[in-house]
Structure 1
Amino acid sequence: MKFTQHLDPNINLIRHYEPGLVEVNQKKLTQSCIITQKTLKPEWSVDSIQTLNQDHIQQLLDLNPEVLILGTGDTQVFPPAELFGYCARQGVSLEVMNNAAACRTYNVLTTEQREVVVGLIIESKPLQN
């Protein structure tokens, strides 16, 4: 997939995404993570959309986003309505999309100098023998 080019080499840019993997700058991540322009948290303790809770959302909100994006894996799956309400009460809209769309949207918003936070849920795949 093609991504937008960013002129600032000091920001976290998503270089590549495929199911089960996201590459931020030159770092390959295979588990759920949180990305902002200046912060990379490579270990976000969300195993699946079913385990997502208010504490996980608060970790995203603590980074003071102007725009909050939740990538829910290979397909778009909406979290419980109470999580949307929780974000709204904090004054932030929760945008939900599949990981590929979340990565593209994140990159575009960073070129617009927007304070964007993306949480990507990358489900662990069982090891095959």
Structure 2
Amino acid sequence: MKPRFAGQPLIDAYGDGGFRLNEQRFEGSILLTPRGLYPWAPGKLRDTTRASLAPLIECADEFDFLLVGSGAGFAQLPKDIVGFLTEARIVPDVMTTGAACRTYNILRFEERRVAAALIAVS
């Protein structure tokens, strides 16, 4: 799958069912990887599948942190997905989407190797 947006700009805003990065609006949930931004199908963390995480798995050796934004409230990834990520040597750090966006921006500003899986909030 080819990224919809190359690179890893800071997150300008989130809400209203999407995100704004580099002055561009992206609707729905997203994956931010060192290779770019990908649309992400899950509307809730419980809907996460192995296939939906393929862009993260493909570049797992290119980031050290995976931030997972669970939406407006806290939720957990399904246990089988946590196991799948762990097998790929990815340890997810789950928090609300707002906290994940802020943490992502801080880590990017510090030039740290980070990826994010973010559930859109209304």
Fold equivalence (TM over 0.5): yes
From 59, 63, 67, give the equivalent of 2:55: 59
Query: After TM superposition, where is structure 1 displaced by more than 4 Å over at least 4 residues in a row?
Result: none
From 17, 24, 28, give the equivalent of 2:21: 24
Q: How far apart are the structure 2 equivalents of 1:51 and 1:37?
A: 24
Q: How far apart are the structure 2 equivalents of 1:72 and 1:83?
A: 14
Deviation at 1:56, TM superposition (A): 1.8
Deviation at 1:59, TM superposition (A): 2.7
More strand by share: 2
Larger Rg: 1
Q: How far apart are the structure 2 equivalents of 1:62 and 1:86?
A: 13
**Cα displacement string for residues 18-67 of structure 1 (whole angstroms, at most 9, x for unaligned residues):** 352321110112211112355122x2222322311122233322232211
From 50, 65, 80, give the equivalent of 2:46: 50
Among the aligned pairs, what percent are the same residue?
A: 26
1:7: which partner in 2?
A: none
Q: Aligned-pair RMSD on alpha carbons?
A: 2.1
User: Structure 2 regions of 5+ residues with no counterpart?
Assistant: 1-6
Q: How many residues align?
A: 114
Q: How far apart are the structure 2 equivalents of 1:88 and 1:106?
A: 20
Q: How far apart are the structure 2 equivalents of 1:46 and 1:96?
A: 15
Q: TM-score, normalised by structure 1?
A: 0.76
SS in structure 2 at match of 1:101 = helix
Q: How far apart are the structure 1 equivalents of 2:40 and 2:84?
A: 19
Q: How far apart are the structure 2 equivalents of 1:56 and 1:94?
A: 15
1:80: which partner in 2?
A: 78
Q: TM-score, normalised by structure 2?
A: 0.79
Matched-pair contact (CA < 8 Å) for 2:8–2:37 = no
Matched-pair contact (CA < 8 Å) for 1:73–1:122 = yes
